[in-house]
Amino acid sequence: MVIRLLIPLFLLINSYSIWAFDTLSASVDKNPVLVGEYLTLTIEANGKVSGTQPDTSALAQQFVVGPMSVGSRTSIINGSMTSQTTWQMQLLARSEGTFTIPSFTVNGNTSQPITLTVVARGKDDTDQKDIFIETALTPESLYVQQAGLYKVKLYIGKDLLDGQLTSPAMNEGQITQLGKQTEEYEVVDGRRYMVITREYLIQPQKSGNFTIEAPAFNGQVRENYRRMAVSAIAEPLTVDVKAVPNDYTGDWLPSELVDLSEEWQPSDNEVTVGTPITRTMTLTAVGVTKEQLPDITMEAISGIRSYPDESDRKQLARDGRVISQLISSFALVPQTPGTYTLPEISVPWFNTVIKRLEYATLPARTITVIADVNQIATPTVPAEVPSSVIAQTPNNSASTPATVVVEQKAWYDWLILVSGYLLWIITVVIWFVRRQKPENVAAEPKKEVPEVTLKNLKKAAQLGDNTQFYAELRLYVKHQAPTLNLDTWLSQLGVAELSSEIAKLQASLYSSHEQSVDLNALYQLFEQTIKKKTMKDDKHLTQLY
């Protein structure tokens, strides 16, 4: 019973110690302080506080604010227990003047405000010589959404132990660090410095005059075996941001230079039906991000199938400029012979140097598609002229017309001619009789090439090899219809499902978009179509007989 009474009492006392305190104070470790020098703000409560902290959001309007740390301690002196809770954070003033650190409130207790004096650094300040920051923006004036390169160089003339370099800030602007910082050594006015360089991409989103708040550094260096606190801040930069011209039309692409180039593989303007062509186009622009580059598209051309590849976007900083590239590739597969003209491709952009609209252009290109020589039918050999008909042309045929002399046949010639006709009739009769009894005659061997081709086609389907399957398919069609290409042959078959599946197979080979093709199902559909076509052809021949 006693224990039950003591537990609530203990909880009450413990909870009272958590929130009960009567004073809240705030203090700084430096006052006055130099511009760009960090100071430590401490807020202290004479009690143990849990689950709450002072609101310091108002400080961000006047200072660079570091992260907040929380600590607590408890001590017992002469049987009396005391507790303290402290919150600490570092502040940095970017400009000189007199500032007020506002009061803070925790659990109903309020601290007193603090008046802080910030003093400008002297030109001969020792710390300024030991450590300083330089910044530069290229170009110095920007258009809305134009990408500028903001470079920060931190010079440290002593052994650095640790430190923190803040990022620049700008209202109505996007700031992104490019890559990782670099470290090197430079000699300035006869003194050797370690130089830390960072590059930032700055893109203003609105027109007007804006200030880029410079980064600040706070750290510790070693001097004569002692640790010394150092700090530095760069001068802020003012940038003039121009608006988009009212007469500009199209996608907004502000740049100093835009180039559009292309490569062809193969490079010849004459290609064969079914031979894939790789067209790679590269769009390069200075002063814009890779995301700003517009996609490159190609118009559909009847007779040529186009399969776009995945676009590749790149971005780098060079010679104080941001350079972006878009690389787009297309696989073009000609289907029918002829002459084709690929239309001009044009990308509009705004020249920020001469301040006018320009176009990056690829001129129209004409290609010639020829038939596959392996699919052209073999010309028939003309019949041999009978020896009985002799065209005799005398040597002086220039003035005398040619005369045809028919040789008179002797009786034995007629006997040989009649015997030949009799043998031909007997052969036809024997062939017809044997045709009526196929069970007694061995089956006529099939054409070897088509059979082997179908076997290879089936093997490629079982292996799941799309490239080999397509090659065997074209080979089979070449043997079946030497004068036709694959698309024409499929259109004559008139099987929409088969044409659709083969189109998917082509897309899987020439397009970057993943296309699922079931080769076994495609082979079965192809085999069924061939069997139906063969039965139809045999029925047609039977009707002829």
Per-residue pLDDT tens digits for 145-194: 999 999 999 999 888 888 888 889 998 889 999 888 999 999 888 888 99
Q: What per-residue confidence (pLDDT) applies to 405?
A: 41
For residue 537 the two structure tokens come to: 């052809």
What is residue 469's three-state secondary structure?
A: helix
Confidence band of 327 (pLDDT split at 50, 70, 90): very high
Using a pLDDT cut of 90, give the percent of the chain over it. 21
3-state helix, strand, coil in the chain (%, to 5): 25, 40, 30
**Range with the largest mean pLDDT of 80-89, 202-211, 422-431:** 202-211
Q: What per-residue confidence (pLDDT) applies to 143?
A: 93
Q: Tell me the residue ranges of DSSP E strands in 94-225.
A: 97-101, 105-106, 109-110, 114-119, 131-138, 141-143, 148-156, 159-165, 169-170, 173-188, 191-204, 208-213, 216-223
> Residue 45 CB: number of other CB atoms within 10 A?
24
- What average pLDDT does the segment 217-224 reach? 85
Task: Name which of 216, 240, 242, 219 is nearest 229 in CA terms.
Answer: 219
Residue 230 pLDDT exceeds 80: yes
Q: What per-residue confidence (pLDDT) applies to 379?
A: 45
Let me know: does 291 contact 386? Beta carbons within 8 Å: no
Residue 134 pLDDT exceeds 50: yes
Let me know: does 477 contact 529? Beta carbons within 8 Å: no
Give the model confidence (pLDDT) of 376-398 as tens digits: 544 444 444 444 444 444 444 44
Let me know: does 543 contact 488? Beta carbons within 8 Å: no
Residue 505 pLDDT exceeds 50: yes
Q: CB under 8 Å to 176, separation ≥6 — which residues?
A: 200, 201
Q: What per-residue confidence (pLDDT) applies to 489?
A: 77
Place of tokens 């089956």: 443
Higher pLDDT, 511 or 97: 97
Place of tokens 């930032």: 200
- CB crowding 109-146: b at 16 or more within 10 Å, else e: bebeeeebebeebeeeeebeebbbbebebebeebbbbb
Q: What per-residue confidence (pLDDT) applies to 428?
A: 67
Confidence band of 408 (pLDDT split at 50, 70, 90): low
- As a whole number, the mean pLDDT across the chain is 78
Q: Which CATH number describes the domain made up of 17-119?
A: 2.60.40
Residue 403 pLDDT exceeds 70: no
Q: What per-residue confidence (pLDDT) applies to 301?
A: 87
Let me know: does 144 contact 205? Beta carbons within 8 Å: yes
Please report, as a single letter, which amino acid is at residue 182.
T
Give the model confidence (pLDDT) of 122-131 as tens digits: 655 544 578 8
For residue 34 the two structure tokens come to: 């130099």
Q: CB under 8 Å to 386, separation ≥6 — which residues?
A: none
Residue 355 pLDDT exceeds 60: yes
- What average pLDDT does the segment 277-304 reach? 90
Domains 17-119 and 254-373 share a fold: yes
> Residue 333 CB: number of other CB atoms within 10 A?
19
Residue 328 pLDDT exceeds 60: yes
Domain boundaries, the chain: 17-119, 126-242, 254-373, 448-544
Q: What per-residue confidence (pLDDT) applies to 545?
A: 46
Confidence band of 406 (pLDDT split at 50, 70, 90): very low
Residue 528 pLDDT exceeds 70: yes
Task: Name which of 348, 367, 372 is nearest 279 in CA terms.
Answer: 367
Task: Name which of 339, 378, 375, 369 is nearest 484 in CA terms.
Answer: 375
Q: Tell me the residue ranges of DSSP E strands in 205-253.
A: 208-213, 216-223, 226-233, 237-242
Determine the Cα–Cα distance for residues 348 and 294; give it in Å rounded to an integer: 10
Pairing verdict, β 345-351 and 254-255: parallel
Let me know: does 457 contact 472? Beta carbons within 8 Å: yes
Determine the Cα–Cα distance for residues 118 and 34; give it in Å rounded to an integer: 5
- What average pLDDT does the segment 467-489 reach? 79
Preceding omega of 32 cis (within 30 degrees of 0) = yes
- What average pLDDT does the segment 198-226 reach? 89
pTM, entire model:
0.57
Confidence band of 418 (pLDDT split at 50, 70, 90): low
Q: What per-residue confidence (pLDDT) applies to 21?
A: 62
- What average pLDDT does the segment 138-148 reach? 91
Residue 325 pLDDT exceeds 90: yes
> Residue 477 CB: number of other CB atoms within 10 A?
19
Give the model confidence (pLDDT) of 3-12 as tens digits: 554 444 444 4
Q: What is the DSSP letter of 441?
A: S
Task: Name which of 138, 139, 155 is nearest 191 in CA terms.
Answer: 155
Q: What per-residue confidence (pLDDT) applies to 146?
A: 92
Q: What per-residue confidence (pLDDT) applies to 309?
A: 84
Fold for 254-373, please state it. Answer: Immunoglobulin-like (2.60.40)
Side-chain-side CA neighbours of 454 within 13 Å: the count stands at 14
Architecture of domain 126-242: Sandwich (2.60)
Q: What per-residue confidence (pLDDT) applies to 259?
A: 94
Q: What per-residue confidence (pLDDT) applies to 148?
A: 92
Give the model confidence (pLDDT) of 54-90 as tens digits: 888 888 888 888 788 888 877 777 767 778 888 888 8
Residue 324 pLDDT exceeds 90: yes
Residue 15 pLDDT exceeds 50: no
Residue 502 pLDDT exceeds 90: no
Residue 195 pLDDT exceeds 70: yes
Confidence band of 436 (pLDDT split at 50, 70, 90): low
Pairing verdict, β 403-406 and 270-272: unpaired
Pairing verdict, β 237-242 and 80-93: unpaired
